[in-house]
């Protein structure tokens, strides 16, 4: 009941007529589907930027073969937490991460573990589409190339094709693989970036507000894609749009002021939240 | 209520008037500023045109030179075929020139001396070579085209004339008469001065060319580029992409910025002390010059490269790292290629700067007179800007036009470098 009401509110907020567009409706009733086993387990993860603590003791179990959404107001730490999962925080000199993050039982912050290897297993898609300023083919081929995943050119071309197909971009770019990736539209670029991540066959794909720079139609396409990808991958998305979280995710975590307030099935979060802050946020009372 | 409405309307009327007034003022200010800008550009272009115009006006004559066609009887009595260098060809040619003009040489041989002065010092070399290569011509009467002296050349160009008192003139009345006669006989020909580009420095202006200095400058730039570019770009990449940010990197950054502002003559002193006095590298060599200029160019290259790297959007780095690229891969596959146009531009500017640098070269002995073309980076050499400096100080009138010509060669050298920079930039940009 509340869930439905909320969805309309959010749609109206992000662009009037879009709310009634069939494109924005969930691809199918995903929320009842079972999720896979636990893929990533975090315990008491805290993130510090210098002296400032951005994240406080976050413990979540992220399931495989499902979409897990992180929602919350700006600056709540959801992106910081996401960046812990592939150790992208390592690239920020002043960032420090405490606590334990295990992927398939393996501590990803173990000193013996090479973050380069981790990032091959945990792909990431950013808020702004960031294709390399090279050709479409080169973008997708880059990962397999640096990781030495293919033996020869035909294999590489096959993999590029497969990845583009899985990202739903093949039909649009098949005849211009040598064209500049930067010439694609924003939505196409974002799917290209997803194809690029898929090409290294990761186990987890992190998406940091992947649709916030896209128009509703492009957004719908990415959401459809997420729904397909979750059959094979563990997807974690950060989103500002609660409607999006509701549409695509099976599990939702609500962050507020660097704390994990609530983590549950998406349906539960949106229809029957336990915490008052969650209720306030999803009904639009703040954030 | 009506009162209030009226007041409001009145107030808004006033404020519109005020707005209009201030708008007028703002537009006037904008027009004034545009005018200043146009004025500034006009002044800059004016000075540039003045400078270039002056150089071209002074130097264009140096690209033109005159020769005299003359018949020479190669008297076997005076030429030893085994040793043609022993023959005084200057005198031989002068005497025969006089004979053609119907002038009898006097006892003191002052007429032939005057005639010798009209001919280039290169006459003897050309005749010697001719005879050595074709000894069979000895005893023949041959027609040769010979270079004339710098003063005679200037006379034909209209730069010297017969005005003023004879004793203070470069050419006396007799010489001027002869020059006119030779021209009337149709034996004087003007031609492009190839010698300017095929010869090196000489004490005789008509024999002086820029080749040695051009080769010296090129060798020096080669040394500078092969040191300053890899070291500078490497240092910049390390500082920008890998070095932990902290106190030490801050200190290094400040010092690099300071070094870029150090006067170039200080680098010359450093080069003198380190490369010549301590390391005993050969003086006046392009090697030492290149080393000094490399030191001088390094800060510029580092600063330019760093700012080019900084301008690459961080999203590209993130994209590469998130793909599982190592830091080095992210930098060399993505960041550096994107920064390349900026790196190229900065580097070429630094190189062009180094090319025009004179002061440090004076201190490491490159100011000496070097008549040959340097064969290696260790052989003594001159450089273009130093050649300009030397020629400008020369007393012969004919060196003045050659100074301007050397400046033009230097400028063309720089234009070629800049054109190469633009071309490379375009090519790298097209590769995105």
Give me the pLDDT at residue B139, please: 84
> Distance (Å) from the C-alpha of residue B253 to the closest C-alpha of chain A?
18
Low-confidence stretches of chain A (pLDDT < 50) are 1-32
H/E element holding B211?
helix B211-237
H-helix segments, chain A: 2-13, 78-84, 115-121, 136-147, 153-166, 170-173, 186-198, 216-229, 242-248, 266-271, 276-282
Q: How far is CA B155 from CA B151, B163, B170, in A?
A: 6, 12, 10
- Residue A129, judged by CB atoms within 10 A of its CB (0-12, 13-18, 19+), counts as buried
Give me the pLDDT at residue B307, please: 93
Residues of B with CB under 8 A from a CB of A: 244-245, 313, 315-326, 329, 333-334, 338, 432
> Distance (Å) from the C-alpha of residue B195 to the closest C-alpha of chain A?
50
Nearest to A170 by CA among A201, A143, A147, A194: A194
Give me the pLDDT at residue A27, please: 43
**What length does chain B have?**
432
Give me the pLDDT at residue B43, please: 97
| CATH no., domain A2-130+202-282 | 3.40.50.300
DSSP symbol at B163: -
Residues of A in contact with B338 (CB under 8 A): 133
Inter-chain touch B322–A134, beta carbons under 8 Å: no
Residues of A with CB under 8 A from a CB of B: 86, 88, 91, 93, 116-120, 123-124, 126, 128, 130-134, 142-143, 146-147, 180, 182, 193, 196-197, 200
Give me the pLDDT at residue B10, please: 53
Domains of chain B by residue range: 63-193, 211-430
**Per-residue pLDDT tens for B242-288?**
888 889 989 999 999 999 999 999 999 999 999 999 999 988 899 99
Inter-chain touch B324–A119, beta carbons under 8 Å: yes
Inter-chain touch B323–A119, beta carbons under 8 Å: yes
Task: Please answer whether residues B204 and B148 qualify as being in contact, where contact means their C-beta atoms are separated by less than 8 angstroms.
Answer: no
A286: left (phi over 0), alpha (psi -120 to 50) or beta: beta
Give me the pLDDT at residue A212, please: 86
The fold for domain B211-430 equals: MetI-like fold (1.10.3720)
Give me the pLDDT at residue B21, please: 87
Give me the pLDDT at residue A26, please: 44
- Residue B418, judged by CB atoms within 10 A of its CB (0-12, 13-18, 19+), counts as middle
Give me the pLDDT at residue B430, please: 56
Contacts of B97 (CB under 8 A, 6+ apart): B68, B70, B115, B119, B178, B182
Give me the pLDDT at residue B303, please: 94
Task: Please answer whether residues B96 and B72 qualify as being in contact, where contact means their C-beta atoms are separated by less than 8 angstroms.
Answer: yes
Q: What is the 3-state secondary structure (H, E, C) of B368-394?
A: CCCCCCCCCCCCCCCCHHHHHHHHHHC
Give me the pLDDT at residue A167, please: 87
Inter-chain touch A196–B315, beta carbons under 8 Å: no
Q: Which two tokens stand for residue B168?
A: 């203070």
Residues of B in contact with A196 (CB under 8 A): 323
Residues of A in contact with B322 (CB under 8 A): 86, 88, 119, 123-124, 126, 197
Give me the pLDDT at residue A70, please: 93
Inter-chain touch A88–B315, beta carbons under 8 Å: no
Inter-chain touch B334–A132, beta carbons under 8 Å: yes
Inter-chain touch B318–A130, beta carbons under 8 Å: yes
Which among B324, B338, B432 is the nearest to A143, CB-wise?
A: B324
Residues of B in contact with A200 (CB under 8 A): 323-324
Q: Find the radius of gyration of the CA atoms of chain A.
A: 19
> Distance (Å) from the C-alpha of residue A197 to the closest C-alpha of chain B?
7
Half-sphere exposure of A176 (CA within 13 A, CB side): 10
**What average pLDDT is seen over chain A?**
84
Inter-chain touch B321–A119, beta carbons under 8 Å: yes
Domains of chain A by residue range: 2-130+202-282
Give me the pLDDT at residue B78, please: 84
Q: How far is CA B345 from CA B240, B301, B354, in A?
A: 18, 9, 14
Mutate to test the interface with B, among A126, A136, A146 (most CBs of B within 10 A): A146
Which among A128, A132, A200 is the nearest to B324, CB-wise?
A: A200
Low-confidence stretches of chain B (pLDDT < 50) are 1-6, 432
Give me the pLDDT at residue A166, please: 87
Mutate to test the interface with A, among B241, B312, B322 (most CBs of A within 10 A): B322
Inter-chain touch B326–A196, beta carbons under 8 Å: no
Q: CA A219, A223, A224: angle at the middle one, nearest 5?
A: 120
């Amino acid at each position: 009941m509340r869930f439905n009401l909320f969805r309309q509110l959010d749609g109206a907020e992000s662009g009037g007529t879009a709310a009634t567009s069939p494109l924005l409706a969930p691809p199918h009733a995903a929320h009842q589907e079972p999720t896979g086993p636990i893929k990533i387990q975090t315990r008491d993860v805290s993130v510090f930027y210098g002296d400032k603590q951005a994240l406080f003791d976050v413990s979540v179990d992220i399931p495989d073969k499902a979409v897990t959404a992180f929602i919350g107001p700006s600056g709540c730490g959801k992106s910081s937490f996401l960046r812990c999962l592939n150790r992208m925080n390592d690239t920020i000199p002043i960032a420090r991460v405490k606590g334990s993050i295990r992927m398939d039982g393996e501590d990803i912050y173990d000193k013996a573990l090479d973050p380069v290897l981790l990032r091959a297993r945990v792909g990431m898609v950013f808020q702004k589409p960031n294709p390399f300023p090279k050709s479409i083919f080169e973008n997708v081929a880059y990962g397999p190339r640096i990781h030495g995943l293919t033996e020869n050119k035909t294999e590489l071309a096959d993999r590029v094709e497969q990845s583009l197909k899985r990202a739903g971009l093949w039909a649009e770019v098949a005849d211009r693989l040598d064209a500049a990736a930067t010439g694609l539209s924003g939505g196409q670029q974002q799917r290209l970036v997803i194809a690029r991540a898929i090409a290294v066959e990761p186990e987890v794909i992190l998406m940091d507000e992947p649709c916030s720079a896209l128009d509703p139609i492009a957004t719908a396409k990415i959401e459809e894609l997420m729904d397909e990808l979750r059959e094979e991958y563990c997807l974690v998305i950060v989103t500002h749009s609660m409607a999006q979280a509701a549409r695509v995710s099976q599990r939702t975590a609500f962050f507020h002021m660097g704390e994990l307030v609530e983590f549950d099935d998406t349906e539960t979060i949106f229809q029957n939240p336990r915490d008052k802050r969650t209720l306030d946020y999803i009904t639009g009372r703040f954030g | 209520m009506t009162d209030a409405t009226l007041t409001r309307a009145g107030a808004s009327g006033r404020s519109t008037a005020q707005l209009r007034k201030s708008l007028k003022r703002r537009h006037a200010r904008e027009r004034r500023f545009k005018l200043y800008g146009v004025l500034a550009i006009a002044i800059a272009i004016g000075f540039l045109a003045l400078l270039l115009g002056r150089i071209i006006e002074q130097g264009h004559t140096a690209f033109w030179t005159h020769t005299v066609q003359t018949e020479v009887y190669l008297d076997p009595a005076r030429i030893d075929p085994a040793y043609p260098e022993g023959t005084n060809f200057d005198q031989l040619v002068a005497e025969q020139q006089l004979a053609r003009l119907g002038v009898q040489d006097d006892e003191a041989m002052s007429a032939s001396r005057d005639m010798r002065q009209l001919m280039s010092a290169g006459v003897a070399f050309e005749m010697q070579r001719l005879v050595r290569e074709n000894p069979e011509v000895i005893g023949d009467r041959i027609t040769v085209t010979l270079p004339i002296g710098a003063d005679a050349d200037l006379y034909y160009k209209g730069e010297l004339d017969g005005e003023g008192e004879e004793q203070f003139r470069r050419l006396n009345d007799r010489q001027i008469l002869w020059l006119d006669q030779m021209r009337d006989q149709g034996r004087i020909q003007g031609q492009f001065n190839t010698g300017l580009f095929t010869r090196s420095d000489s004490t005789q202006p008509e024999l002086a060319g820029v080749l040695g200095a051009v080769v010296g400058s090129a060798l020096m730039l080669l040394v500078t580029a092969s040191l300053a570019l890899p070291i500078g770009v490497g240092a910049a990449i390390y500082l920008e992409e890998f070095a932990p940010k902290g106190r030490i990197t801050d200190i290094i950054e400040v010092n690099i910025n300071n070094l870029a502002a150090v006067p170039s003559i200080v680098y010359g002193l450093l080069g003198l002390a380190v490369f010549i006095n301590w390391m005993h590298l050969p003086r006046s060599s392009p090697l030492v010059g290149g080393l000094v200029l490399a030191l001088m160019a390094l800060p510029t290259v580092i600063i330019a490269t760093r700012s080019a790297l900084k301008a690459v959007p961080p999203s590209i780095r993130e994209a590469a790292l998130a793909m599982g690229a190592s830091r080095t891969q992210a930098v060399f596959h993505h960041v550096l290629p994107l920064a390349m146009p900026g790196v190229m531009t900065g580097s070429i500017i630094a190189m062009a700067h180094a090319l025009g640098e004179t002061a440090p070269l004076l201190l490491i002995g490159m100011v000496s007179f070097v008549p040959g073309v340097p064969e290696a980076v260790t052989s003594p050499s001159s450089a273009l800007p130093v050649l300009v400096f030397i020629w400008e100080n020369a007393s012969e009138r004919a060196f003045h036009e050659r100074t301007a010509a050397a400046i033009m060669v230097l400028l063309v050298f720089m234009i070629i470098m800049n054109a190469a920079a633009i071309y490379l930039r375009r090519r790298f940009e097209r590769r995105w």
